[in-house]
Amino acid sequence: MSAAPLLEVRDASVRFGGVHALRGAELSVSTGSLCGLIGPNGSGKSTLVNVISRLTKLTGGALLMDGDEIDSLSADRARAAGIARTFQTVRLLPSMDVLANVMLGGATHFAQRSVAVNWLWPPRRANANRTARQAALVALERVGMAAHAHARPQALPYGQQRRVEIARALASRPRLLLLDEPTAGMSHHEREEVGDLLMELRREGLTQVLVEHDLAMIHRVCDHAHALNFGRVIASGSTQEVAADPGVREAYLGHGSSGERAQDSERAQESGPPESPAKVSQ
């Protein structure tokens, strides 16, 4: 399989004041693949997702989509160009129902056009509202949330809120979907379901980047993976290769690692908050 890369990150670095969040990260995601991104907290995973979705500016390096540089694109343009994302925390707007939230994701074309015309030209308004609604309903159906279209997001259980977020990202039919820990804080069963959903989307041809703490999840759903630590990619390849990489094991388990630490963190994962340490598949 040697499909041309949809997305390429070359020698990316990001500095906030004196803190290096990324230092020379390299990444390549081929069209139609489901690429895992792992690494301990603070390793630069979220920064990398922010860079690709253009919320964070690169201080060095290049970002390419279909071989074209896109690092000067603004975040809104990036979404219009087909890069959609979800966030680590649920960010649904509580002032509107589920359908309205997802409709915002389905109106990206409308959102990029002149505000004045969008405001005052009735055909454009009507058309945008209709197409956004259709797109939203399709996306909600896709993630199995169509029955809850008129619920308030805050009334839904956590796992369902995350599905709505995925629907909002899917509603604009993106070419690349960035998922920033979509299963954080979910039960085991919910995680399995989201994993199934991502694999189905992959089968339909959607390219995805999945940020995940849980190596088992990466192993189950991803084609290949990149491991980050200290803002650099320390290993990439098939999920088995990455999981077996000594650098990765050290980053996760620390020096002189043994099963003890891994079990500790496994326990933390079960009871702890979404940000708890990684679980390593044995």
Partner 1 sequence: MAIASISSWYAGNETLIQNILIYALLAFSVQVVLRAGVFSLAGIGFYAIGSYTAALLLKKGWPTVPSILAAVLLCILLGYLLALLLVRLRDLYLAMATVAFDLMVGVVATNWTGLTGGPLGVTGIPLVMGTLPIFLTAVGAMLLLGLLQRGVLGRSFEAIREDEPLALTLAIDTSRYRHFAFVISCVLGCLAGAYHALLFGTIEPTDAGFELIVLALSMVIIGGFRSWAGALLGAILLTWLPLELTSVGSWLNLVYGGLMIVLATWLPGGLLDALRALLRLPARLRLLLRSPSSLAATGEERG
Q: Which residues bind partner 1 (CB under 8 A)?
A: 53, 55, 74-80, 84-85, 87, 91, 93-96, 100, 103-105, 107-112, 115-116, 118-120, 125, 128-129, 132, 151, 155-157, 168, 172
Cβ-based nearer residue to partner 1, 87 or 252: 87
Taking the complex as a whole, the smallest distance from the CB of residue 122 to partner 1 amounts, in Å, to 9
Taking the complex as a whole, the smallest distance from the CB of residue 199 to partner 1 amounts, in Å, to 24
- The Cα 214–Cα 37 span in angstroms is 10
Cβ-based nearer residue to partner 1, 108 or 236: 108
Taking the complex as a whole, the smallest distance from the CB of residue 171 to partner 1 amounts, in Å, to 9
Cβ within 8 Å of residue 22, ≥6 positions away: 12, 13, 14, 44, 47, 48, 51, 231, 232
Residues 143, 166: contact at Cβ < 8 Å? yes
User: Could you say which DSSP state residue 4 is in?
Assistant: P
Cβ-based nearer residue to partner 1, 156 or 233: 156
Taking the complex as a whole, the smallest distance from the CB of residue 235 to partner 1 amounts, in Å, to 29
Residues 98, 153: contact at Cβ < 8 Å? yes
Taking the complex as a whole, the smallest distance from the CB of residue 72 to partner 1 amounts, in Å, to 15
Helix axes 98-105 and 122-142, enclosed angle (nearest 10)? 110
Cβ-based nearer residue to partner 1, 158 or 230: 158
**Partners of 15 in beta bridges:** 20
- The Cα 159–Cα 182 span in angstroms is 9
Cβ within 8 Å of residue 212, ≥6 positions away: 36, 37, 38, 181, 183, 218
Taking the complex as a whole, the smallest distance from the CB of residue 82 to partner 1 amounts, in Å, to 10
Cβ-based nearer residue to partner 1, 84 or 248: 84
Cβ-based nearer residue to partner 1, 206 or 242: 206
Residues 36, 27: contact at Cβ < 8 Å? no
